Each structure stands twice: as C-alpha cells, then as structure tokens.
Chain A
Amino acid sequence: MNMRRLVFWGLMMAASLALSWYWWESQDTHRAELDTTADSLLSAENELFAKVLKPRAFIFPQDHGPHPTYRIEWWYFTGNLQTDMRRKFGYELTFFRFALTPEQNMTPSKWRANQMYMAHFALTDVDNKQFYTDERFSRAGNGLAGATTEKYHVWLYDWKAEAINDSHSRIALYAKSDAFSIALQLDSEKEIALQGVDGFSRKSQKAGNASYYYSYTRMATTGHIQIKQQTFPITGSSWMDREWTSAALSAQQIGWDWFALQLSDHSELMFYRFRRKDGKQDNNNAGALFYADNAKTRLAFSDVDIQVLDYWKSPHSNIRYPSQWHLSIPDQGLELDISPLINDQELNVRYRYWEGAVHITGKKNGQAISGQGYVELTGYQ
C-alpha cells in the first residue's frame, strides 16, 4: 500500500482533529485562551516531524522497527486462507503507530509517551457470510504497545506480529478477540519488494508528500483460526505492507481504492487510485507489478484502467461501496475481474472503511488467469 493508506490515515487524523476542535469550540467560548499546543498535537502540518524527502537505504531488521520521529507508520497484514475442506476465510491484522508530538517529554514515569498505537483485526468467514472486527488502542508506555528495532516485533497488548527465530522473513501473527482469533505463521516466498522508487513512494510534487514503503507480497501462511468455539487449521497466502510518513492529504482527495492482488502465475499487482472531489483522475495514482522472479514494473496512473461494475450498500452505515471491478493493464496484456468473497466486509470501528478479501478471474495475454487478494475502500460517505 502506498500513499492512499497514508493519505487515509492522515485524513482520519485530520478528521478527528476537526471533530475535537469542533467539540472543543462548542465547549469553550474562550477561544483566545485556547492553548496552541491543542492543534499542534494532531494538526495536519507540523514542521517538526521528520519528512520523507528522498530515497533512503533500508537496513533490516532496524527498519522493521518504529520510526518515531515520523508521524504515522504501519505494519499491515492481509491474507486469504482456507481449510483442507476448501472452506475460505480472509483476515486483516494491522498495527498503526502515531506520533502525538514530534518529541517526547522526558519525565520519569514509564507511562509518559508521545507514541500511540492502534490495531485493527478483521476476519471474514466466507461460507457463513460473517465478518468479524475488533480494534485496540494504547500508548507505547509501560510495555503496553510498541515495536522493536532488534527484530521484527510489533505489539499492542496481546496482539502481535513477531519474527520467528529472529528470521527477517518468517513472522508469527497472533490476535484474539472475544469471538474470534488467529495464530498464523507467515513465511515470505519472495524478497522484500520496495515500492515506488527504491521504497520512496512519492505522493505529489510537493517536497515531503511521500512515504517510505516496502512489502512482502506473497507469504505462505499456515496456522489456526478460531471462530466462537470452532478451531480451523488453515493454509493460505498473506501480504505485508510497511510504510511510514509525516505527510497528510491534499484538499482535493477524498479517499481511495487500493488493490493488492496475488495472481496464479506467481506475480502480484499493487495499485491504488485516489478519488477526487472534482471527479477527475488523480495523476498520483500508481502501483507496481512484481513478477515471479522478483522483477518489478512500476505502473503510472495512465497504465491502469479500472471500471466499477457493481455497487453494494452497507446495511450498517448506508454507505454505497463499489463491489465489482474490471481492471485492465493493456501494456501487460492483463484483463482482470475482481469481486469480493462477501460484500459485507465493512469495518465499523472508530474510523470506518471497507477492506475485504477478493477473488480474481481474467486473462493474461489471452491465457486464463486467476487469483486472490485484498481491496481497501476509504473515504466513502
């Protein structure tokens, strides 16, 4: 994932700031006395956070760890799973880190922190058409949440993603909610994929409007999922995204659609497109195609055409989401039909969005091709 998620979370933070601001204002008429640090806490622009200005060399495992001087960062896992009996499931487990202030106040309590973590956990039970979600929040203090630079390890309370045997590419996931849980081992089948230019993913021409971004695009997955009293041994394939930035959205952008697709020829496609207020195509739409041999082709906005074929209206929020797409990349001879495994994969957590498992049929250079993946839809009203 790229700018779109970055933009999404930036947008969400801006929205929450706006909400707080509104509340604050409605609560207090003494505007002049408002402390300026109130807006500095979550405001869209703050010069004091570190900026993403140019490509950098990634060093692992340090870069799997947190980059606390940047405002936003995430560890993003999605995957399609199935049992021996071909019963299908999808999951999402994401850890977000937010820097509440550019610098931490150094005081003696272990609870003092300027880093906040948020995690989302979703499970799709395709056969039963059920979608389960949960979320967690915590500061980084007192060992309640955090990430380490020594090895891949990020956690929020008991939810975690942690390297197995200090390996760079083998990661164990664990998350448990009241009604559902996962315990998975992810083993990357490919090398780390650097998105954008060597992991520098530009959002616009404005300096700093970019992120550092890399992925594991195909991770063989085994383990168990549990729904209520039932446990299912499963196998499948996961996708991991790592990204950090301090930038926020442009005023024109209201949301985006993001595609992370694993195709049957062992290639993967990542593409995102912004949706603009004025309805025009956004030049910042971009993506990449990763081949079976780790080779990569970058995709610009003009390389990809996406048609929405159907819509679904959420009974929870009454929001209308696209629910079927035709994606074509003429240069690659790729024609794909993408549809959700079930329509209702809307996360009604504190910040609402749709993120769901999809399956793919289509043709590549005239040959039949299939696949699976995840699509994220944000900013729909």
Chain B
Amino acid sequence: MRRLLKKASRHFLYLHPWQLVIAILGITLGVAVVISIDLALESALHTFKQTTQALSGKASYRIIASDGGLDEKLYTHLRVGQGVQNLSPVVNGYVHSTAITAKTFKLVGIDPLIENTFQSAWRQDNKTGNNLRLITEPNTVLISRQTAQSMQLQIGDSFPVTTDTGRHILKIINWLPENNARELFAHLLITDISTAQELFGVLGKLSTIDVVLAHDPAATIQRIRQALPANVLLMPLNEQAESLRQMTQAFSLNLTALGMLSLLMGMFLIYNTVSFLVIQRRLLFGSLRSIGVTRQQICRLIIEEALLLAMIGTVLGILLGIILGHSLLPLISGTINALYFPVDHSVLKLSPLQIGKGCLLGIATTLLAVLVPAWEAYRLPPHRLLLRSELESGVRRFIQSAAWLAVLFIFLGLSLVLLTGNNISMGLAGIFLMLFGFALLTPQVSFVLMTMLERLLARSPSVLVRLPVRMVKAEISRTGCAIATLMIVVAATIGMDLMIGSFRQTVSEWVKISLPADLYVSLSGNMQASHKSAADHLLKQRLAKLNEVEMLSSVLRTQLFRGHTRNKVSVFEINEKSRQGFIFKQQSHEIWTAFNHQNSIFVTEPYAYHHGLELGDNILLRTAQGEQAFAIIAIYADYSGDQGHLAMSRNNYLRYWPDLGFSGIGIYAKEGSNMIQLEARVKQLLQPYQTVKSEQAIYQLSMQLFEQTFRITETLRWLAGMIAFLGVFSALMAIQFERTRQLGILRAIGMTSGQLSWLISIETGLMGLIAGLFAVPVGFIMAYLFIFVVYLRSFGWTLAFYFNAGVVFQGFMLALVAAVLAAVLPALKMAHTKPADALRNE
C-alpha cells in the first residue's frame, strides 16, 4: 500500500512541476536570506576576532589609552622599571596605496624581538633574523605574497603609500607567513614600531600594548595597574570583543528580523503550495481513503512530501545563502565600519552551527506551514473529502476562528510591545505576533469587504461585474491566503518606507541644523601625532586672520574613560551661531554659562538612553587628578551613531586633559562673502591630508552615508518582497489552474476568451485591492512600531513621524499591479485552452 501511495504521490508531483519549483523556491529563498544575514554578520565579527588573534596571538589583556595615545616611556617603565614580561608594543593605522589598484592597508608596527609566548600568527615560521631588518632599515615591511603579486611586486620591490604625514615609499623585505591566517593578511602590512611611528607621525607614542599573562597573573595585573597613569587602562581582550558584539547586537537583531520576515514570506509560499497540492488531490485522497488507506497514512504522505521539498529547498537555500552572504558581507561590514568599529576586509566564514540553523529553520518552517493542510486531510472522512463545497464551508468556520485568533495575536503582540521595556527582541517578537495576527485577520476582512462590494454591485446587470466578487468570496480558502501574503508584504513595504522616510527626514533636518557654519575644515584624525596641537592652533590663527572670516568654532573628537570604558567625547568651542547647531531634547536653564564655566556636560540622546541617564545626573570621568564629576545639563539629538557620546566645552576639557588640537574647525563667513573664493583661500592654508568642505557638501555626504547604511535594509526588503511576490503569484496561479474546469464551463456557455481574461484579471485585481487597502493601516502601525519601539530600543533615537502619501500610494499600487501581473499567465493560458480540453481537466 505504501508503494502505491508513494507512486501516486510521485506521479502527481511529476505532473505539477511548477508548483514544486515554486514551493522549493519559497523555502530556498527564505532560508537563503536568513542564512546569508547570519553568515555575513557572524563573518564580520569573526574576522574582527580573528584579526585580533592573528596580530595579538595569546595576549589576553591590552593596555589602552584615551586619545593622546600611550607614551612609549610607559612601555620602557613597565619593562625596565617594573620588570613586566610578555608585553608587545603596537603602533597601528591605515595607509593607502595606489600601486596597480587603490588599496587600503592596515599597517601594524610591532617589535620583532618580543617573547615567543605571544605566538602571533604573523610571526609563525618567521625566523627573527629576517625581521631584524625591520628594526634597522626605515620603511621596510612584510606583506602577504598573494597581495604583493596582485600588485606585481616582489621581495626587494618598493611601492608608494600615503598617510596623514604625506607620501612614503615602502620596501618589501619579506613575505608574511603562509599559514591559516593567510586570508586575514590580504590587507595587512607588518613593520617595526619605529617605521610605524615615523609613517604616522606619532613619535613617542604607542597605540596599544598587548599583554600575555604567563606567570602569576593576579600579581602581574596588579603590578601593571599600579604603574599606569590615569588615562591608561589595562583591559581584558575578550571583554573588548564582547563589548563589540554587544554594540552590534541591536544592528544584528534588526537584520535578523528582516531575515525572519523573508522566512515568514517563504512560509506562506509553502503553505499555499502544499494546500494546493492537498486540495488538488482531494478526490484522490477521498478515493484512497475509500479503499482503506488510513488517515494517518494520508497525513504521513503529505508530511513526507513536504519534508522532501523542505530538504531540497533547505540545501539549495544554504547554498544560495552562501552566495548571497558574499554580496551582503561588504554591505554589513560597511555599516559596521560606519557605525561601530573598523572591521578590516571580512572573510566569509561558514560554521556547522549556521548550517544546522539553516536546516532547522527550513524544515521547521515547512512543517509548520503544512500543519493546516495535513490536518485538513486528516480530519475529514472519506466521503466529505470528495466534496469541494465541504472544504469551503469548513474554511468559513475556520476564517471566523482565525479572526478571533487574529484579535488574540494582535492583542498579545501589542501587550508584548508595550510591556517589555527596552528589550529589542521582545519588541520585534511583539511586532511579528501582530503581523501574524493581521495576516490571520485578512480572510475575514476580505470576506467582509467582498460582501459589502457584492451588495453594492447587486444591481449591476453584468455577470462579468458580479462574478469576480463572488469568486473571491466563494473560494476564500485559497484567495484569503494569497491576499494575506500580499497584504503582509505591502504592509511591510509601506511600514519600512514610512520608517526610512521619517528617519531620512529627521536626519536630514538634524544635519542641516547641526551645520551652522559655512565651511568646515577637517584636520588630521590622528590624535597621537606629535606637534599636532601646535600645528592645529597655528592653522586656526591663520584662518581667523582671513578677511572674509567673521568667527570660528572648533570641535575635538576624542575619547575619555568613564569607569573602565572608553567613551566618545566631542569637545566644543562654541560661538553664538554654533549654539543653534544643537537640537535639545531636554535642557536645564542657562545651559551655556554652565557649559563653559562649570563641570558640566551634554549627552546625546542615544547615550542617555543606553546608560539610563537623566538631566542632573553626574558622569564620572577619569582625569590625571582622579575621577571628576560632570553634571548632565542637556540631552541633545544625534544620529551620527547608536552608541552616543558626550559633549563638553573646550574650557572644561582643557582643565583636566591635554590639548590634542582639533578634529574640525567651523568657519563663519562675513555677510556677503564669496564662498567659493573663501574655500579656495582656506584650501591654500591646509596640508594635503586636511580638507575643507562647504556645509552643503557635508550635508550631501552625510545623506549619502545615511543611504549607504540603509542599503542593506533595502536589499533585504526587496528580497522579502520578491519571495512574497512569488508567493502571491503561485497562489493566484494555483487558484486559476485549479478551476480550469469551472472556467471551461464558462467558456462552454458562451463566454469569450477576452471576457474570461477580464474575469480573471478583475478577480485578482480585487484581491490586490483588498490587500492594498488593508496594508495601508497595517503598514502605518508597523512604521509606528518600528520608529517608536524598535529604533528607540535599538539605538536610542527618537524620530519624528513623517507621513508620505506617495509611499502609501506606491504600496497600494504595488499590491494591485502584483496581483494583476500574477493573473496574466493564467488568463493567457485559459484564453488559449479549448473549452472541451478544460472540461476534461478533472
């Protein structure tokens, strides 16, 4: 009997290849999107960790300083004065090469003579003797053989690079080792501390000191900590990696949510297909049951078919996911680079865990999706299985229960969103529950809408007007699901478009307001460069002397220690005009006097949100004189990053910390000055690595960066949309093919093929209309939740909600067009099918 069943199943599936392809495609795409996001995210983080390991080896601690860097004398003090062993001094930065192709290298300056206990990957199978040349000869480097060859360079060759200090010629004296860290070395140059200091102009400074705790860790930690000045910290490396992971958690969660949305779309697709496969075989199953096949056997058959589809789809999905991951990786790394910390040229890394996750997701989703159709086939007695009307009447009862369930889901989702405080995952889960609820509600909404339309059109004499409405309503079990799928994807589109639009608008206004000056000079970012401060002050004086300049403002972007963490701090020198550059969310009275003359501080909105800070709270910052309290006197809007930062006046800053010069200088021109001329004159005063940009140019750049960070979101949304469209398409096609006989009758009683095409188009158009109509409020709710729940929880940003009628219209049209497009193929096919053939169909 089992053989018979299997044969029947195989034969049936063989006759419906397109249904199979679409079902598999649904699983494949859903799994692929989830896998690719996971893969790209994990790879970016993994690369960061691997690079750290390859460079720092067995180091478990790292000595870091706030900006201004570590004094190289500290290293000597630890080694010579304190006798601390297993320390590795590091000076690193980036250099740009234009040899053959433009490339950015991470250049790491090390001491080739440090202890072997570090076991850094770059030192493996390298004899010290070779690397000693790095110490004696200026501008010598080690490079990976592959990279050098791609630049057509050999050992002994030289190539030019540029850094903040200008152009330099580097000489290759050896290859980096060709071990398993090789991939990470593609954009790496290793050199000696001395060369790195000279290239970056950071004489006397180190970036970090790595520490291996080999003998008596507690005592060594104690000895090191006692020797460190106030602006320097000894920090466990794994803690650093952990904090980076946490930093990107919100970002990953949001991406994962998008991936899950795709999977949800895939699930609808599978559900559609499998239900179709079940419904199509009602007669077959009925007959089989009549001749003694048990319901369990039928049920098992359906599940086995689904599992087979799931397995094929999952395997393909994982493969596609890897390919997709490759394209997502640069996007994700780019965003992490822009928002969080530098990840150097990530390498895609696939772990068995990820494959396992993909398999589980693909198979679990499929099983979940076939639950309803399998139950359907299980539940009904043989004679009832044979009746189509039975199915529909069952479905109508089901729709009512679904509506109740939908209300429950929406309520649960809303409660989850409202009651879970700051938890991002719970917020997202709530939104998913609500979405699912709205999807479940869709058949009921369609039913109600169609009933209303039916009443409206009751007087119409044309059957061609009334029939499509009745058809949607009569086959709600099939149409309802397609409408729900379409609704969800359109709602997601509307929601995200509104959200991104609101975000864009908020950021745009914020950027405009926070750029009160006419021109902005960007200075060297290298805070450790010797003489930077003096050079910066000189430049500022020269700028002030220019005729067209009315006044200047300045900012220094640096990092200070709050407890054991480094916090970004903007140090402002503010004039009357630049005061307008802040959008305050909360502020105390007389903030400007306090800002300049008291131990006070501004915090950005994300910073306040993440650290639970309020107006009047004190922030303790480390200074050379111990910890100092700074009172929060204002919280202001900032969308430049999601970790947030602090802002203090230059007066305040210079009281406790060394002058590191400026990161940027704002130029306020006199009324009626020629900006282009002024820009040119300013440019003449600058070093090659310094730039001057107009306020408009910065605005454009900022918005470009904004679009760039959203590119990944957009990409994923389109993927989800594509899956959804496939779902709608397959569902609609299934419906039309299923009723070939019905349509044949219509043809047989005199309907022309043109009328039939019209009928089909109107029916699917109606479905699109319902989906579009219902998607508008759902999309609004989603946008609202995204802005005020997800984004606030993830990033601490409050965005203004901007309504955009265009977006709503577009979404609505998307639903309509997608539905009508899906009707084209069946309509064409029906038009070309002879009525007799169609009637023979069943």
CB distance from B591 to the nearest CB of A (A): 45
Residue B79 interfacial (CB < 8 Å): yes
Do A42 and B129 have beta carbons less than 8 Å apart?
yes
Residue A144 interfacial (CB < 8 Å): yes
Chain B, 120-179, CB within 8 A of any chain A CB: 125, 127-130, 132-133, 135-138, 154-157, 173-175
Do A107 and B198 have beta carbons less than 8 Å apart?
yes
Stretch at the interface among B80-88, B252-260, B398-406, B460-468: B80-88
State the CA gap A28–B142 with chains docked (Å).
Answer: 13
State the CA gap A100–B198 with chains docked (Å).
Answer: 20
Residue B344 interfacial (CB < 8 Å): no
Residue A252 interfacial (CB < 8 Å): no
User: Please, which residues of chain B bring their CB within 8 A of the CB of A33?
Assistant: 154-157
Do B136 and A34 have beta carbons less than 8 Å apart?
no
Chain A, 8-55, CB within 8 A of any chain B CB: 16-17, 19-20, 23-24, 27-28, 30, 33-35, 37-38, 41-42
Residue A278 interfacial (CB < 8 Å): no
Size of A's binding interface in residues, CB under 8 A: 41
User: Please, which residues of chain B bring their CB within 8 A of the CB of A155?
Assistant: 80
Interface-centre pick from A17, A24, A111, A112 (highest chain B CB count, 10 A): A111
Residue B453 interfacial (CB < 8 Å): no
Residue of A nearest to B198 (CB): A109
Do B135 and A157 have beta carbons less than 8 Å apart?
no
Residue A138 interfacial (CB < 8 Å): yes
CB distance from B72 to the nearest CB of A (A): 6
Residue A116 interfacial (CB < 8 Å): yes
Do A111 and B129 have beta carbons less than 8 Å apart?
no
Do A112 and B194 have beta carbons less than 8 Å apart?
yes
Do A30 and B154 have beta carbons less than 8 Å apart?
yes
CB distance from B125 to the nearest CB of A (A): 8
Residue of A nearest to B201 (CB): A108
Do B155 and A141 have beta carbons less than 8 Å apart?
no
Residue of B nearest to A103 (CB): B136
Chain A, 78-114, CB within 8 A of any chain B CB: 100-101, 104-105, 107-114
CB distance from A185 to the nearest CB of B (A): 19
- Contact A111/B197 with A41-B136, A100-B136, A139-B135 known, Cβ cut-off 8 Å: yes
Residue A330 interfacial (CB < 8 Å): no
CB distance from B830 to the nearest CB of A (A): 71
- Contact A16/B194 with A30-B154, A35-B155 known, Cβ cut-off 8 Å: no
Do B113 and A142 have beta carbons less than 8 Å apart?
no
User: Please, which residues of chain A bring their CB within 8 A of the CB of B192?
Assistant: 111-112
CB distance from B238 to the nearest CB of A (A): 24
State the CA gap A294–B129 with chains docked (Å).
Answer: 43
Do B133 and A143 have beta carbons less than 8 Å apart?
no
Interface-centre pick from B72, B73, B135 (highest chain A CB count, 10 A): B135
Do A16 and B203 have beta carbons less than 8 Å apart?
no
State the CA gap A164–B833 with chains docked (Å).
Answer: 111
Residue B279 interfacial (CB < 8 Å): no
CB distance from B87 to the nearest CB of A (A): 10
The answer, among B80, B133, B175, for a CB contact under 8 Å with A38, is B133
Interface-centre pick from B128, B133, B204, B214 (highest chain A CB count, 10 A): B133
Chain A, 99-137, CB within 8 A of any chain B CB: 100-101, 104-105, 107-114, 116, 137
Do A110 and B203 have beta carbons less than 8 Å apart?
yes
Do A101 and B80 have beta carbons less than 8 Å apart?
no
Residue B215 interfacial (CB < 8 Å): yes
Residue A352 interfacial (CB < 8 Å): no
Residue A178 interfacial (CB < 8 Å): yes
- Contact A113/B136 with A16-B127, A20-B130, A157-B83 known, Cβ cut-off 8 Å: yes
Residue A176 interfacial (CB < 8 Å): yes
Residue B75 interfacial (CB < 8 Å): yes
Chain A, 145-193, CB within 8 A of any chain B CB: 155, 157-158, 176, 178
User: Please, which residues of chain A bring their CB within 8 A of the CB of B157?
Assistant: 33
State the CA gap A142–B79 with chains docked (Å).
Answer: 11
Interface-centre pick from B85, B127, B129, B173 (highest chain A CB count, 10 A): B129
State the CA gap A142–B197 with chains docked (Å).
Answer: 12
Do B133 and A141 have beta carbons less than 8 Å apart?
no
State the CA gap A38–B194 with chains docked (Å).
Answer: 19
Do B80 and A144 have beta carbons less than 8 Å apart?
yes
- Contact A178/B214 with A19-B127, A30-B155, A112-B138 known, Cβ cut-off 8 Å: yes
User: Please, which residues of chain A bring their CB within 8 A of the CB of B81?
Assistant: 158
Do B135 and A112 have beta carbons less than 8 Å apart?
yes
Do B175 and A105 have beta carbons less than 8 Å apart?
no
State the CA gap A158–B83 with chains docked (Å).
Answer: 5
Do A110 and B136 have beta carbons less than 8 Å apart?
no
User: Please, which residues of chain A bring their CB within 8 A of the CB of B738?
Assistant: none
CB distance from B159 to the nearest CB of A (A): 14
Residue B322 interfacial (CB < 8 Å): no
Residue of B nearest to A158 (CB): B83
Do A109 and B133 have beta carbons less than 8 Å apart?
no
- Contact A110/B80 with A23-B127, A30-B155 known, Cβ cut-off 8 Å: no
State the CA gap A107–B135 with chains docked (Å).
Answer: 11
Do B138 and A114 have beta carbons less than 8 Å apart?
no
CB distance from B177 to the nearest CB of A (A): 9
Residue B111 interfacial (CB < 8 Å): yes
State the CA gap A154–B133 with chains docked (Å).
Answer: 24
Chain A, 250-273, CB within 8 A of any chain B CB: none
State the CA gap A212–B216 with chains docked (Å).
Answer: 42
User: Please, which residues of chain A bring their CB within 8 A of the CB of B215?
Assistant: 178
User: Please, which residues of chain A bring their CB within 8 A of the CB of B135?
Assistant: 100, 111-114, 116, 139, 141
User: Please, which residues of chain A bring their CB within 8 A of the CB of B83?
Assistant: 157-158, 176
State the CA gap A149–B757 with chains docked (Å).
Answer: 103
A interface footprint on B170-210 (CB within 8 Å = 1, 0 otherwise):
00011100000000000000001111011000011000000
- Contact A28/B175 with A16-B127, A112-B135 known, Cβ cut-off 8 Å: yes
Residue B76 interfacial (CB < 8 Å): yes
Residue of A nearest to B131 (CB): A20
Do A157 and B133 have beta carbons less than 8 Å apart?
no
User: Please, which residues of chain B bring their CB within 8 A of the CB of A42?
Assistant: 129, 132
User: Please, which residues of chain B bring their CB within 8 A of the CB of A138?
Assistant: 79, 111, 113
- Contact A157/B80 with A113-B136, A114-B136 known, Cβ cut-off 8 Å: yes
- Contact A142/B198 with A16-B127, A17-B129 known, Cβ cut-off 8 Å: no
The answer, among A35, A101, A108, A141, for a CB contact under 8 Å with B203, is A108
Do A144 and B79 have beta carbons less than 8 Å apart?
yes
State the CA gap A37–B156 with chains docked (Å).
Answer: 10
User: Please, which residues of chain B bring their CB within 8 A of the CB of A116?
Assistant: 113, 132, 135
State the CA gap A104–B135 with chains docked (Å).
Answer: 10
- Contact A23/B130 with A28-B155, A28-B175, A142-B72 known, Cβ cut-off 8 Å: yes
CB distance from B581 to the nearest CB of A (A): 39
User: Please, which residues of chain B bring their CB within 8 A of the CB of A139?
Assistant: 111, 113, 135
The answer, among A110, A113, A114, A157, for a CB contact under 8 Å with B204, is A110
- Contact A157/B138 with A110-B204, A111-B197, A116-B113 known, Cβ cut-off 8 Å: no
Do A19 and B129 have beta carbons less than 8 Å apart?
yes
State the CA gap A168–B678 with chains docked (Å).
Answer: 69
CB distance from A13 to the nearest CB of B (A): 9
User: Please, which residues of chain A bring their CB within 8 A of the CB of B173?
Assistant: 35, 38
State the CA gap A34–B83 with chains docked (Å).
Answer: 39
CB distance from B316 to the nearest CB of A (A): 43
Do B132 and A41 have beta carbons less than 8 Å apart?
yes
User: Please, which residues of chain B bring their CB within 8 A of the CB of A111?
Assistant: 72, 111, 135, 192-194, 197
The answer, among B72, B130, B136, for a CB contact under 8 Å with A105, is B136
Residue of B nearest to A114 (CB): B136
Chain B, 375-392, CB within 8 A of any chain A CB: none
User: Please, which residues of chain B bring their CB within 8 A of the CB of A105?
Assistant: 136-138
State the CA gap A234–B365 with chains docked (Å).
Answer: 78
4 closest A-B pairs by beta carbon, nearest first, are: A158-B83, A20-B129, A111-B194, A109-B194
Cβ contacts A to B, 8 pairs, < 8 Å: A28-B175, A30-B154, A33-B156, A108-B197, A109-B203, A111-B192, A137-B113, A138-B113
Instruction: Taking A101-B136, A108-B197 as given, write out 7 further A-B residue pairs in contact, using a Cβ cutoff of 8 Å, ordered by the A residue number.
Output: A23-B125, A33-B156, A33-B157, A100-B136, A112-B135, A139-B111, A157-B79
